[in-house]
Chain A
Amino acid sequence: MIGTLATLVATSPGLLARVGASALQVVAVCVGGPLLLGLMGKIRSRAEGRVGPPITQGLLDLRKLVRKEAIRAEHTSAVAALAPLVLVSSAALCAAITPLVTARPVIAGGADVFAVVYLLLMGSVALALGGLDAGTAFGGMGSSRAMTVGAISEPALLVAVLALAIQAHTSNLPGIVNASLSHPEWLASPQRLLALAALVVVVIAETGRIPVDNPSTHLELTMIHEAMILEYAGPDLALVTVGEAMRLGLLLGLVANLFFPWGIDASGGGLAMLVGLVALGAKTAAIAASVALVEVSTAKLRLFRVPELLAGGFVLAAVAVTTGLVAR
């Protein structure tokens, strides 16, 4: 690792700029994720005829949570303390290497589809283990359900992005984004549309939105994701919340840039990055708004109907890949 770092420093004068760009992406996701959640909540409230909490409520709640006391259940091991940290740091690393604001490879040797999917899996595994640590009935139930949903949605995510990777002849995410920038005709190709549909299903499942999971339920038996985190309080809860919001922002940003790459900073330079940031915000906000609108008008699926939806997503992704291969 040190050797690689040394070569990085030696070969790329713009290392600082790169690190700066990835830090910007992390901060953007860190702040943007909770804002996107706030936006979705706002749209939901408006659709229900309420004013609803302000969009910044999520950030305000975070500020409050880190100042509160942390509570750990007796008999928990180090896992309970580590899980929120791992969730956040895996999401942050994902945000650093994914082309969100800039399509230049931020960290050479990391921005890979496979890496992003498995980093997300790392967060899920950490959260699931955290849910099991306190030994409560609902924590374990939530872990079991979340892993079941994840076991079907992660493959769908990988295969859906694979459809794009085959088209672009690389599994490197900036490579895919740059290739789609120079081939605008790809964006309407059938495999892209199918992959988009599959990805939307995955994003809904991964972020625990209706119809897969209901983030605002109070009934433990109906919970998936919420049940795992019933035990976290104060700063731990702040980490989990921000981690989850970051994953949402990240996935929405990924969908936005893979399918609508316009506006992303492809050349470098401060202004281009600013444009990239604004474009990212606008695109993710648009997708978040449509997800929220769908959410208001749908009912949550029964738990054992969820896998069918996800399997549908996986099949869509597989069809996307096949279409891509046939169309060559």
Chain B
Amino acid sequence: MSTAAYFIGLGAASAAALLGAVLPARRRLLAAAVLSAAACLAALVGAGDVLVSGHAFSVHTAQVLPLTGVDLSLDPLGALFVAATAVVGLAVSCYSVGYGVHATPSRIATATLPAFLATLLLVPAAASVATFMVAWELMALTSLLALLTDHRRRRETRDAAQWYAAMTHIGAAAILLGLVLLAAHAGGQSFAAIAAHRRQLSLPLTSVVFVLTLFGFASKAGAVPLHVWLPRAHPEAPSPVSALMSGAMVNLGVYGILRVGEDLLGGGEMWWWLVVAALGVVSAVFGALHAAASTDTKRLLAYSTVDNVGLVLIGVGAAGALAAGGQQALAGLVLLAALFHLVNHALFKGCLFLGAGALQHAAGTRDLDRLGGLARKMPATAIFFGAGALSISALPGLNGFASEWLLFEGLLQGFASRSAVTVAALLAGVATLAITGGLTATAFVKALGVGFLGQPRSEGAGAAREVGPSMLIGMGFLAGGCVVLGIVPGVVLPVIDRATTAGLVAGASRAIRPGLGLALASVHSEIDPGLLVGGLLVALVVAWGAVRLAPRSAELRSPRRAAAWGCGRDLQTARMEITATSFAEPLQRVFADVLRPDHDLEVTHTAESRYFPEAITFHQRVDDAVERVVYRPVMAAVAWWGHLARRVPNGSVHRYLAFGFATLVLVLVVLA
């Protein structure tokens, strides 16, 4: 059944792409959306079946790709990623109907979204090097096209697409190199053959393969310092695309690391995984800091993706290191936590990106400085965005808390490990978890509080109205998922646990106790979010009742509405409100060494006296320090080299002939 369902899903997504490209403007949007929602449902059924039963399926056809054929196989690890993609995809498909209503997107734009979705569903099922690389490149291509949707209107989109194309292709080249190297030495290009021959591979070779593929996959996952495309591409892409990119595509980077490192190479050396964990630590802290400093909604969300991918990589790295150190059960627990967080991240980040899209749709801007007051105008969007924001801040009762607790517990148990390096890595991981917790909460209080509360700070925000039902259903579906997984996390853990059994890691089935809450079997550590939520509600009702029932004269019963207390000023305008920039300012000052904000203060004085300023302008921007320090010099060097090279071809035929002759002589000399 799983095979059929999965392929129906792939087929429906492709059909959606096709219909999106050929149908007339009025029909294509709805047709593509319905078909891709059906595709997601089917894929979810297929993947769910694999996850629940634990039985993988595999298919080989020689017809589709010449020479190599296509190998597809869905094991529980891949199925988890397919399922996560399908859930986000379902919400996105629904949402895209309302998102495209006002300005019907072009044929290509309508077609690329389902096509992108199809490739996302395809990659985790690829079971040979050739199939994998084809699927991976298709994903890169369709996502690039989807990102370029708005390129006619915005210059920044083209810029972002260039960054994305460059990063993703450097990464793909590294992956290709690594996998080809692997296939050449393992005597076959199907993943099964490689896994069967891994014992015959030399350590230097596997290490080179791992590092090459890690580079490629980390650039897709958005790990620092390979994250630079993320904060550019996510804001510029249409929101359904950003939701898919952040909720599904970056996951596949993690998938690749797990597939190659744990499954194909069988776990390998401890240092591999320590490198992964180190990438995670750097990404998490860097991402969280930038998210706290960002004032553009989607840029904030993009950096927060870097942060969360970092947390997942910490878990993946710690699991690998523990497994390499022989602690299988513990490794399984940590990996389970990491994958659970990944699933949760797909839910809340998908929800948040869709919410950000709704904001942009309604208020015409993503700039938090110019939003405000939207909670009263768009209450449903505010609730869904709020659910996402509070989940990502790991507040108890929501899913971010559940997975961060599990990760925390897993890392904590790992401290019993004998290896000092592992312990140091775990310590760094726990400290990172703690630091990013506070920073993330700050970032999302800013997004929620400055964006939705207070007074509108622009005409667009003042005129905003609630978005349509299809967009709300899309957001609400993911927000509901956040709440459900937050209250009864225990129900999905056994399913996710199937996926952790890939490769060396033994799975956590014995490390957790079954139940609705979270409980570790070996030690006395458990938490039942449902009970916490229940307690919270009881306390809330008691407190509310105590206040309501207090003896009070009848005229004072209900709260009075009065003008906000502005210290007696009779003029209170929205311009006096705090903006996102000023909200982030204290934190930015504290972490100025990492964020390196650029300030620009210009004071012009009146002609009569230098004591009286005429105008003061202040500019501030927080650029990505990694981009400035690492990428700009490289790009400058390449540009310089290009300039130099331009002098060589000056158009003279004689010169070209001379070049040809010189080359010929050189070749002959070398060969002789």
Q: Give chain A's interface residues, CB within 8 Å of chain B.
A: 1, 3-5, 26, 66-79, 81, 85-86, 88-90, 92-93, 96-97, 107-110, 112, 114-115, 117-119, 121-122, 124-125, 128-129, 131-141, 143-145, 147-148, 150-156, 158-159, 162, 165-166, 169-172, 175, 220, 230-231, 234-236, 238-239, 303-304, 307, 318, 321-322, 325
Given A92-B539, A144-B583, 15 further pairs, Cβ under 8 A: A4-B530, A26-B539, A66-B550, A69-B552, A75-B376, A79-B453, A90-B536, A129-B453, A140-B577, A154-B441, A171-B408, A171-B412, A172-B526, A175-B524, A318-B431
Chain A nearest CB from B550 CB (Å) reads 4
Residues of B within 8 A of A304 (CB): 586, 589-590
The answer to whether B527 and A77 touch across the interface, beta carbons within 8 angstroms, is no
Residues of B within 8 A of A72 (CB): 559-562
User: Which of chain B's residues has its CB closest to A135's CB?
Assistant: B454
Most chain-B Cβ atoms within 10 A of its Cβ — which of A81, A156, A325?
A: A325
The answer to whether A118 and B394 touch across the interface, beta carbons within 8 angstroms, is yes
Q: Measured between alpha carbons, how far is A152 from B590 in the docked complex, in Å?
A: 10
Residues of B within 8 A of A131 (CB): 449
Contact with A along B291-318 (1 / 0, CB 8 A): 0100000000000000000000000000
The answer to whether A75 and B442 touch across the interface, beta carbons within 8 angstroms, is no
The answer to whether B578 and A143 touch across the interface, beta carbons within 8 angstroms, is yes
With A112-B525, A114-B405: A125-B556 Cβ-Cβ less than 8 Å? no
The answer to whether A4 and B528 touch across the interface, beta carbons within 8 angstroms, is yes
Which residue from A75, A110, A155, A159 sits with its C-beta under 8 Å from B527? A110
The answer to whether B372 and A135 touch across the interface, beta carbons within 8 angstroms, is yes
3 closest Cβ pairs, A-B complex:
A140-B578, A1-B530, A135-B454
The answer to whether B535 and A110 touch across the interface, beta carbons within 8 angstroms, is yes
Residues of B within 8 A of A79 (CB): 375, 453
Q: Measured between alpha carbons, how far is A240 from B54 in the docked complex, in Å?
A: 51
The answer to whether A132 and B539 touch across the interface, beta carbons within 8 angstroms, is no
Residues of A within 8 A of B629 (CB): none
With A73-B564, A93-B535, A235-B547: A115-B405 Cβ-Cβ less than 8 Å? yes
Residues of A within 8 A of B546 (CB): 66
With A93-B539, A121-B393, A140-B583: A114-B408 Cβ-Cβ less than 8 Å? yes
The answer to whether A122 and B395 touch across the interface, beta carbons within 8 angstroms, is yes
Instruction: Flag whether B359 is at the interface (Cβ < 8 A).
Output: no
Residues of B within 8 A of A74 (CB): 561-564
User: Which of chain B's residues has its CB closest to A77's CB?
Assistant: B375
Q: Measured between alpha carbons, how far is A172 from B522 in the docked complex, in Å?
A: 13
Which residue from A66, A70, A110, A230 sits with its C-beta under 8 Å from B559? A70
5 residue pairs A–B, Cβ–Cβ below 8 Å: A89-B539, A108-B526, A133-B453, A144-B446, A158-B437
The answer to whether A150 and B441 touch across the interface, beta carbons within 8 angstroms, is yes
Residues of B within 8 A of A117 (CB): 437
Q: Measured between alpha carbons, how far is A68 from B519 in the docked complex, in Å?
A: 45
Which residue from A71, A141, A155 sits with its C-beta under 8 Å from B431? A155
The answer to whether B565 and A89 touch across the interface, beta carbons within 8 angstroms, is no
User: Which of chain B's residues has its CB closest to A136's CB?
Assistant: B564
Instruction: Flag whether B423 is at the interface (Cβ < 8 A).
Output: yes
Contact with A along B423-443 (1 / 0, CB 8 A): 100010011001101110110
User: Which of chain A's residues has its CB closest to B401's CB?
Assistant: A118
Instruction: Flag whether B585 is at the interface (Cβ < 8 A).
Output: yes
Instruction: Flag whether B23 is at the interface (Cβ < 8 A).
Output: no
Q: Majority SS of interface residues in chain B?
A: helix
User: Which of chain B's residues has its CB closest to A74's CB?
Assistant: B561
Instruction: Flag whether B672 is at the interface (Cβ < 8 A).
Output: no
With A133-B454, A136-B565: A144-B578 Cβ-Cβ less than 8 Å? yes
Q: Measured between alpha carbons, how far is A170 from B532 in the docked complex, in Å?
A: 19
Which residue from A88, A110, A118, A239 sits with its C-beta under 8 Å from B437? A118
Which residue from B566, B585, B587 sits with its C-beta under 8 Å from A151? B587
The answer to whether B434 and A159 touch across the interface, beta carbons within 8 angstroms, is yes
Chain A nearest CB from B626 CB (Å) reads 21
Instruction: Flag whether B415 is at the interface (Cβ < 8 A).
Output: yes
Chain A nearest CB from B475 CB (Å) reads 18
Number of contact residues on B: which range applies?
Answer: 35 or more
Which residue from A81, A115, A121, A145 sits with its C-beta under 8 Å from B586? A145
The answer to whether B551 and A121 touch across the interface, beta carbons within 8 angstroms, is no
Residues of B within 8 A of A175 (CB): 524
Q: Measured between alpha carbons, how far is A236 from B546 in the docked complex, in Å?
A: 12
Instruction: Flag whether B326 is at the interface (Cβ < 8 A).
Output: no
The answer to whether B564 and A109 touch across the interface, beta carbons within 8 angstroms, is no
Chain A nearest CB from B232 CB (Å) reads 26
The answer to whether B576 and A136 touch across the interface, beta carbons within 8 angstroms, is yes
The answer to whether B395 and A231 touch across the interface, beta carbons within 8 angstroms, is no
The answer to whether A93 and B551 touch across the interface, beta carbons within 8 angstroms, is no
The answer to whether B396 and A69 touch across the interface, beta carbons within 8 angstroms, is no
The answer to whether B550 and A67 touch across the interface, beta carbons within 8 angstroms, is yes
The answer to whether B449 and A132 touch across the interface, beta carbons within 8 angstroms, is yes
Instruction: Flag whether B487 is at the interface (Cβ < 8 A).
Output: yes
Q: Measured between alpha carbons, how far is A79 from B445 in the docked complex, in Å?
A: 12
Most chain-A Cβ atoms within 10 A of its Cβ — which of B379, B537, B582, B590?
A: B590
Residues of B within 8 A of A235 (CB): 547, 550
Residues of A within 8 A of B390 (CB): 125
The answer to whether B572 and A136 touch across the interface, beta carbons within 8 angstroms, is yes
Residues of A within 8 A of B590 (CB): 148, 152, 304, 307
With A136-B565, A148-B442: A68-B572 Cβ-Cβ less than 8 Å? no
Instruction: Flag whether B450 is at the interface (Cβ < 8 A).
Output: yes
With A75-B455, A77-B375: A144-B585 Cβ-Cβ less than 8 Å? yes
The answer to whether A239 and B395 touch across the interface, beta carbons within 8 angstroms, is no
Q: Measured between alpha carbons, how far is A175 from B525 in the docked complex, in Å?
A: 9
With A66-B547, A143-B578, A154-B438: A73-B395 Cβ-Cβ less than 8 Å? no
The answer to whether B441 and A88 touch across the interface, beta carbons within 8 angstroms, is no
The answer to whether A93 and B532 touch across the interface, beta carbons within 8 angstroms, is yes
Q: Measured between alpha carbons, how far is A126 from B331 in the docked complex, in Å?
A: 36
User: Which of chain A's residues has its CB closest to B393's CB?
Assistant: A125
With A71-B559, A162-B412: A85-B540 Cβ-Cβ less than 8 Å? yes
Residues of B within 8 A of A133 (CB): 449, 453-454
User: Which of chain B's residues has its CB closest to A231's CB?
Assistant: B565
The answer to whether A1 and B442 touch across the interface, beta carbons within 8 angstroms, is no
The answer to whether A89 and B543 touch across the interface, beta carbons within 8 angstroms, is yes
The answer to whether A135 and B567 touch across the interface, beta carbons within 8 angstroms, is no
Q: Measured between alpha carbons, how far is A68 from B550 in the docked complex, in Å?
A: 9
Chain A nearest CB from B583 CB (Å) reads 4
